């Protein structure tokens, strides 16, 4: 999972010249390192909300296709994230609709794994989306 900085500092004015390029570079380095240690089962997580501004998170979800070039499944975990509150003021416990929307967009753009809080609701959303595929 990509994260800028440490857990303690990641949200202190995060900035990227090009978030897609920086996350890609991170993945290239980590994939190389994992393979060096014989790790083949790799899942890539762009790290929604981890050292990212709203515009970075949006860019990552919109451009997930870019990361498919690595040949590994893409994971997105946007469930109840603060980016939902930044778009529509919503307390954490009322962010299900926003979570479903973000995850549907992530699936449409190349995500294959979702990290969620509300499993039943997400399963229903995934089944509905699959019916239209």
The token duo for 21 is 């390029």
Which tens digits make up the pLDDT trace of 108-121?
999 999 999 999 99
Other CB atoms within 10 Å distance of the CB of residue 81: 20
Helical H runs in 9-118?
Answer: 19-36, 54-62, 64-67, 82-87, 96-108
CA dist 14 and 17 (Å) reads: 11
The secondary structure of residue 124, as a DSSP letter, is H
Mean pLDDT of 64-80: 98
Give the start-to-end residue ranges of the domains of the chain. 19-131
Q: What is the pTM of this model?
A: 0.92
Which class does domain 19-131 fall in? alpha beta
Measured CA to CA, the distance from residue 42 to residue 4 in angstroms comes to 20
Give the catalytic positions in this structure: 81, 115
Residue ranges of alpha helices (H) inside 37-95 are 54-62, 64-67, 82-87
Contact 40, 84 (CB under 8 A): no
| Model confidence pLDDT, tens digit, residues 76-110 | 999 999 999 999 999 999 999 999 999 999 999 99
Rounded to the nearest integer, the mean pLDDT of the chain is 94
First to last CA, the chain: 28
| pLDDT value of residue 3 | 79
């Amino acid at each position: 999972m990509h994260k800028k900085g440490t857990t303690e500092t990641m949200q202190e004015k995060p900035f990227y010249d090009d978030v897609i390029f920086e996350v890609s570079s991170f993945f290239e380095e980590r994939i190389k390192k994992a393979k060096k240690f014989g790790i083949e089962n790799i899942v890539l997580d762009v790290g929604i909300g981890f050292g990212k501004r709203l515009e970075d998170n949006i860019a990552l979800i919109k451009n997930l296709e870019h990361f498919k070039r690595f040949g590994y499944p893409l994971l997105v975990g946007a469930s109840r994230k603060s980016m939902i509150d930044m778009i529509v003021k919503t307390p954490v416990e009322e962010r299900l609709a926003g979570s479903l929307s973000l995850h549907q967009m992530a699936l449409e753009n190349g995500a294959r794994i979702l990290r969620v809080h509300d499993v039943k609701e997400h399963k229903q959303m995934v089944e509905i989306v699959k019916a239209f595929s």
